[in-house]
Each structure stands twice: as structure tokens, then as C-alpha cells.
A and B are shown apart, each in its own frame.
Chain A
């Protein structure tokens, strides 16, 4: 991504060290028996772009919450422009100029852009007449400051996510003098162009003397956006680096503590007939004339930009998005996949990228989550589920095959870590005995360390003869994991590549051409 940014930050801005205006010294925090932070020191300079990097659970969210006043540290101090505080309150933090933008943006979808931006107008004195022109002026002033134009009268709920993000940034600046904006995983849902636009805005903030701290575990994001990077791991600060001192490998090592050896896959040499064939598949507005083949044991990578149509295609293969025309053949026989049940019967499984809300039913048990897709296979006489069969399924997939870290399957799945949760998702789908497994961004929200485990599992499955369609945004990941790579652009497949013979840069160029 770095080489495609059209206007990188000027050298002068990058190297000029501003004064440190927020300093957190020796912060420690426990929750119950869990140590979230241990003696962490973290400083922010005026007008800088600083990334707080680390895996999920490393303590970065806790550190931010201490800064924003939601939590109080057990030990340590927070220095605001040299003045020491043992802890902050949300009001005090905001008064000092700290504004947090959460990942869900916390906007009001039923109100207009202008009203969202200027909503702070309503808070201090609720029983007063709304001064609409003043709110509008305030919103316009902020937009001008940031040199962006937003449709003031549109309801926020109708806007695409990138625009909503800009609304959130504007709101952060609309109130009292903001000096620091904290963003949580800001590029998670953005297309490449939108990331460029966001970056321009962040640089504009910098020009206005406003510092930006963003919290992330996505290596790409960190290396593209940040000037300085502070790495946290297991509640400790591993150091602050200039971004030019780091590359993907080094940053990944710091964050996870592992050194990864990745090697390209040998070219796949299976001869078996394709288990899945797609010919001329089209669906208006989503994808057109898609041809592909998937053979047992093969891992086929599918990459492309946001909006290229990959997930739509995947859902069509899974029966949740019936195509307008074209043919899908399983083992040579044409099939009509009108429901996902039909796809499952045809041995096709789909692991959604949205694990939290689509992959698992969080409050329910690991056991129920595992068997939910195969209930009909566990049902015996009288239409009741046979306990022994159910137990066997769980024993096999949860404990033996995927080795989920838990002592019982009868606890809520939300109690597991992200990586273990993803294993339960895989267990669920593997229990359906699929021959085709579609993985949609399987490592999103999974720590860099746990990713390796997931890919090992994927390799093992391919070795056993499963055909795997791997959809991902992370080009490097796909390069090292796949036997073959397809690139999708605006609903069409624009190229097939051999990972041995193509470079990451070339793939990027094809995607973003």
C-alpha cells in the first residue's frame, strides 16, 4: 500500500519532533486477577501521527481508556502538559482535548450529518431551543478546517462507511479545542481510495497541530499511516520506533514475539477432477462471467478490492445469493443452490468473515455452536438428537481435530479467545463433512500469532483433500498460502496467477489498476 499513496507526508513534517504534551508514566492496571498493563510508559507529541500497535488483548484498549478517563490506573501517572494526574475523568480528558473515535463510530444514523457533527450543542443545556443555523455553521466550520465536503443534510445511516468515518472525525473536532484524536482500527472497512482520503485528512489534522493516535494490529495500516509506532505485548511496552525503522517482518515479530518463516507453496500437482466448477456465473450489479475450478487438495486464493464482488460470489456458491445466470457444477453435476442448506448438502461450507455476529452465536455454548449445522445428522428415532452422537461430534472436532483450548464444551463460546473462537467456527463447518471450504477473510480480528495456527489447520485440511477457496484482503497472506491466485476486479476475474512466479507488487498493480 505504501508505494501507492499519491502524496506521502512531507519529510519535514515527519522528522520534526514536537514537544511531548501527553505522557503516561509507569501505568499499571489489573482487572480482577488479570494484569492488563504492567509499568507502561507512553508519550504523545504534539501534532504527530502515532500508532499504538499490538495484538488483541495486549492492553492497548485499556491504555486508551485510561487516557480517556474511563478507567483509573492502579499505579502510574498521566502528565498533561507537564501537570501530573493520578487518573482522569472523561470530562477532564475531553477538556484537555482528547477525543476518542470508537470503531463503531458512535454516530446517530437517524440524524443528519450536520446534527451529528454539532450534536455537542445539545448536551450542556438540554432545555433550550435548538439554534439550527448555529449548528450548521459549526459543522461547516469544521468541514472547512479539514478541507472536506460532506452532505450536511443527509441522514448518516444512509452514508457509506468511509463518509461516516469523516463525520466522526468532524464531530471530534467540533467541540472544545481538540488536541488529540484517537482512532480505533480506522481502515478496517475502507477501500484503498478511501484510505488515501483518510490519510489526507489525518495529515490535515497534523497541519492544524492536532495529534492522531490510532490503535491497530493491522501491519499494513500501521506502516502506511504512522510516523511513530509504540508496540505493546502482554501489557508491556516494547518500545517506540520511527516507522521507517520498521518493516512488516520486524513489526510482526515485535507484536507477536515470533519470527515467522513463510515459504511459498510448491505448485499443486494433484490430478483429480475438479470438485467445483463455475461457468459464466453472473449476478447483476455484483459479478459477471465468472469461471473457476477448484480441485480437491487445492487452495485457491481470491483477492481484490473491497466491493470487487468476492463475498457476493462466495455467497452465491454457498446458496445465499442465487446467481442470475451461469452454471455451478459439483463433481461434474450441475446444481441449483437456492439455499445454504442445499449448498451444505452438496458439501460446500462457508466461513464468514464476520465471526462475531455471523459466525458464532456468542452467548450459547461451544457445543451447541458446533453442532448447529448438522442437527439433522444427529437426529435419531422420534426426531430427537442422540446424545451419544452429539458428544462424539463435539469430542472429535472441538477437542481432537481443532484442539480448542477449553476444559468443557458446555460453556458460552464468547468466553474463548478470538483464535479459539475461530477454531470453533472451523469445527462447526468441518462437522458438515465438506469437500469445498470457502474461507472469507479468516484471519480478520485474529492476532498475528494465532493466524499461523489457523493457516496450519487450513494446510492440514487441504492435505486431506478438501478444496479451499481463500478470500482475503491481505495479499501477502494469500501469496504464501495459496496454490493458485485469482484476482477479481469490479465483478470480473481479471487474471490467474502462480504464486511462485508473481510478486506482491504485481498483484497490487492488477488489483488497483
Chain B
């Protein structure tokens, strides 16, 4: 896994980790803590700006905003759990969106027949997915078969992918999509915003994948010790390729949501999200060293971050200030994780005396 932090003295005893199968409140302090913080934040902002914060409109707005970050966070979570990192998720999403946007705008006009629209949309979606798949495959192959450090590989792919996107568009925007697409970003399904539906579906799929599928178990084991997992008969190479392919597929879904919401696509969108996806993951209990993490934790931390973000927005904070707060929050999250591990180790030590 990425750069060692082993220069500081190692912690006393290994902290026991609850199984990935269940995320019960009592058994997992991370989840409990997150729920507590959510309640706290909601109360805090509710008190400060009750009229605007606790309105249904705000809730709706949050439910629309969260999914794009959420899906990207899922895209970051899977590589993190494998002991790696995917710095290229935003770039991949943007390129995918641009490909789809280009097809949609080039092949469709205001007077296109509905059947043509459906066909082109399908084509665009497939093309976008293919783009993401290619990036994911290249990344996965280099990481798995050549053994290059994921940070370096995804740094390279990020630069290259963004480079292609910028070059092809001269940095410009492609926009103007048919209503069907816009619905994916702005419509509701039974009252729930469509992006949120997509996000929840993705979250459930990833959760089930990581805890109940052979792929997920293998990825977690690889995250903790790739060699031992390989010696146990797991095809770690292909699993790692699968990790980055899965990550990229999620980037495609995020791309669809993003372009639907903004009605446009651009090479540099959402770049500030990169850090926040890592923040959400770490805050949500994903171990940056690999091997551990739960989708429920990620979901809750995203909810928390969204509440804070919306709250700040309503209070008139500049987006820059909010971003600075994210940076500080990450540091805080790491400090909390350290304290939590120490505390659990002490509990475990006491427990062994019984």
C-alpha cells in the first residue's frame, strides 16, 4: 500500500475489527459516532438557521447534491479497501461525461425523432461506459501485472485522461442534452430524486459485493496482505484489475448523474471532490492501509458532510472556506481514528484479562 507511516512508534495492540457482514450500532463505534455527529450537526445548523435549514426544500437540495459525490466516494472506496488508491476518478468521470456529451450533442438536434433520441442515448451511455472501462482496465493491468504503485499509476492515468479531455475540447464545455437525460439528474421517482435512487442502488450493490461476494472478501484480504492471499489460491491479479474496473464503472454512473445535473460536461469539473471522497471514506471507517471498511459508514459520513456543507452554504460561508474546513476535517478524522483505535486496543487488553 502507499507510503508507510511506519516512522512513528507502532500502536500497542491490534484493534479488533468487527466483521464486515453486519454494521450493528453497538458493535461498531464508527457507525455510532457518525450517527451521533449527524444528529449533532443537524441540531446545530437547525438551531442557527431553523427556517431555512430544516425545510423540505433544503432536504431535497441535499438529496440532489449528495449522490454525485457519493457515487464518486464509492468509486474511491473499493481501491482503498484493496490497499490502493484511485486518484483518477474525477478525470475518468469527466472524460466519460464528455464522450457521452459529445455523442448526444453531435447526433441529436431539437427536431430529432423520439426513436432516434432513444437510440442515441443508448449509444452515448454505452460509449461512456466503454470509456470508463478502458481507463479502468489499463489502470488495473498496470497495477496488477506490472506491480506499479497505485498512486503512481492513477497519477499517470489522471494526468493522461484529463489531458485527453482538455485537448479534445480545448478546455471548453459541451452542453445541451435531451430531457430524458436531464430527468436522470433532476427528476424524481416516487418523490425521491433520481440521482439519490441511483446512488442508493450503487451503494447497496457495492455493500453486498464487498461483504457477501467472493470478490469483496478477496479484495479485503488482498488489502491486508496481497501475497498471502495469492498463496491461498486467489487470483489476485484479476481481482485487482476488477477493483479498478469496478471503480471506473462507478465513475461512469457518477458521470451520468453529473452531466444530467449540470446539463453539461467539462474537463475540469468537480476536481475538488477528489479530496472529499478520500475524506468521506476515512471518516466513514475505511482504513487507508486497506482491508477494512463498510459502505454504511461511508454513507453516513457522506450524509454528515452534506449536512455540514449545506449548513455552511446557508450560513453564507464562501465555498473556499468550506473547502478549507474539509481539509481540517480530514486531519480531525485521522486524529479521531487514532484515538478510537487506541481506546479499542485498551478495551481489548482489558477484555483479555477476563
A contact set with B: CB distance below 8 Å: 32-34, 320, 339-341, 344, 350, 352, 357-365, 367-369, 371-373, 375-376, 378-379, 383-385, 387, 410-412, 414-415, 428, 432
* B221 x A361 contact (CB < 8 A): yes
The residues in B between 320 and 354 inclusive whose CB is less than 8 angstroms from any CB of A are 349-350, 352-353
Chain A residue numbers with a CB within 8 Å of B17 are 363, 365, 412
How far is B231's CA from A369's CA once the two chains are assembled, in angstroms?
Answer: 12
* B231 x A368 contact (CB < 8 A): no
Q: Nearest Cβ distance between residue B3 and chain A, in whole angstroms?
A: 16
Chain A residue numbers with a CB within 8 Å of B349 are 32-33
Asked whether A363 and B224 contact (CB < 8 A) given A341-B235, A372-B234, A373-B233, the answer is yes
* A360 x B228 contact (CB < 8 A): yes
* A383 x B14 contact (CB < 8 A): no
How far is B353's CA from A339's CA once the two chains are assembled, in angstroms?
Answer: 45
Q: Of the candidates A32, A320, A364, A378, which one forms a contact with B224 in the assembled complex, judged by CB atoms under 8 Å apart?
A: A364
How far is B234's CA from A371's CA once the two chains are assembled, in angstroms?
Answer: 11
Q: Of the candidates B233, B291, B352, B353, which one forms a contact with A341 in the assembled complex, judged by CB atoms under 8 Å apart?
A: B233
Chain B residue numbers with a CB within 8 Å of A339 are 235
* B212 x A385 contact (CB < 8 A): yes
* A364 x B14 contact (CB < 8 A): no
9 tightest Cβ-Cβ pairs between the two chains A and B: A33-B353, A375-B214, A361-B225, A410-B19, A373-B233, A384-B212, A372-B232, A32-B349, A344-B233
Whether B60 sits at the interface, judged by CB under 8 Å, is: no
* A362 x B225 contact (CB < 8 A): yes
Whether B229 sits at the interface, judged by CB under 8 Å, is: yes
The residues in B between 194 and 237 inclusive whose CB is less than 8 angstroms from any CB of A are 208, 212-214, 217-218, 220-221, 224-225, 227-235
B17, B231, B292 — most chain A CB neighbours (10 Å) = B231
Residue of A nearest to B353 (CB): A33
* B19 x A363 contact (CB < 8 A): no
Whether B114 sits at the interface, judged by CB under 8 Å, is: no
Q: Nearest Cβ distance between residue A384 and chain B, in whole angstroms?
A: 5
* B231 x A358 contact (CB < 8 A): yes
Q: Nearest Cβ distance between residue B11 and chain A, in whole angstroms?
A: 12
Interface size class of B (residues with CB under 8 A): 20 to 34
B contact set with A: CB distance below 8 Å: 14, 16-19, 21, 208, 212-214, 217-218, 220-221, 224-225, 227-235, 291-292, 349-350, 352-353
Asked whether A368 and B221 contact (CB < 8 A) given A358-B227, A363-B291, A383-B213, the answer is yes
* A359 x B214 contact (CB < 8 A): no
How far is B230's CA from A379's CA once the two chains are assembled, in angstroms?
Answer: 19
Chain A residue numbers with a CB within 8 Å of B229 are 361, 372
How far is B19's CA from A385's CA once the two chains are assembled, in angstroms?
Answer: 15
* A368 x B228 contact (CB < 8 A): no
* B14 x A33 contact (CB < 8 A): no
* B213 x A412 contact (CB < 8 A): no
* B214 x A385 contact (CB < 8 A): yes
A-B contact pairs, 30 of them (CB 8 A): A32-B350, A32-B352, A33-B352, A33-B353, A34-B352, A320-B231, A339-B235, A341-B233, A344-B233, A357-B225, A361-B229, A361-B291, A362-B225, A363-B224, A363-B292, A364-B224, A365-B17, A368-B217, A372-B229, A372-B232, A373-B233, A375-B214, A375-B234, A379-B214, A384-B208, A385-B212, A385-B217, A412-B17, A415-B14, A415-B16
* B221 x A364 contact (CB < 8 A): yes
* A352 x B231 contact (CB < 8 A): yes
* B233 x A368 contact (CB < 8 A): no
How far is B353's CA from A358's CA once the two chains are assembled, in angstroms?
Answer: 30
* B233 x A365 contact (CB < 8 A): no
Q: Of the candidates A33, A358, A371, A415, which one forms a contact with B228 in the assembled complex, judged by CB atoms under 8 Å apart?
A: A358
Q: Nearest Cβ distance between residue A368 and chain B, in whole angstroms?
A: 6
How far is B290's CA from A420's CA once the two chains are assembled, in angstroms?
Answer: 25
* B235 x A412 contact (CB < 8 A): no
Residue of B nearest to A344 (CB): B233
How far is B226's CA from A358's CA once the two chains are assembled, in angstroms?
Answer: 9
Chain B residue numbers with a CB within 8 Å of A358 are 227-228, 231
Asked whether A361 and B14 contact (CB < 8 A) given A372-B232, A373-B233, A385-B212, the answer is no
Q: Nearest Cβ distance between residue B286 and chain A, in whole angstroms?
A: 14
How far is B221's CA from A447's CA once the two chains are assembled, in angstroms?
Answer: 27
Chain A residue numbers with a CB within 8 Å of B350 are 32-33
How far is B229's CA from A359's CA once the two chains are assembled, in angstroms?
Answer: 8
Chain A residue numbers with a CB within 8 Å of B218 are 372, 375
Asked whether A357 and B14 contact (CB < 8 A) given A341-B235, A368-B217, the answer is no
Chain B residue numbers with a CB within 8 Å of A387 are 21, 212
Chain B residue numbers with a CB within 8 Å of A412 are 14, 16-17
Asked whether A372 and B217 contact (CB < 8 A) given A412-B14, A414-B14, the answer is yes
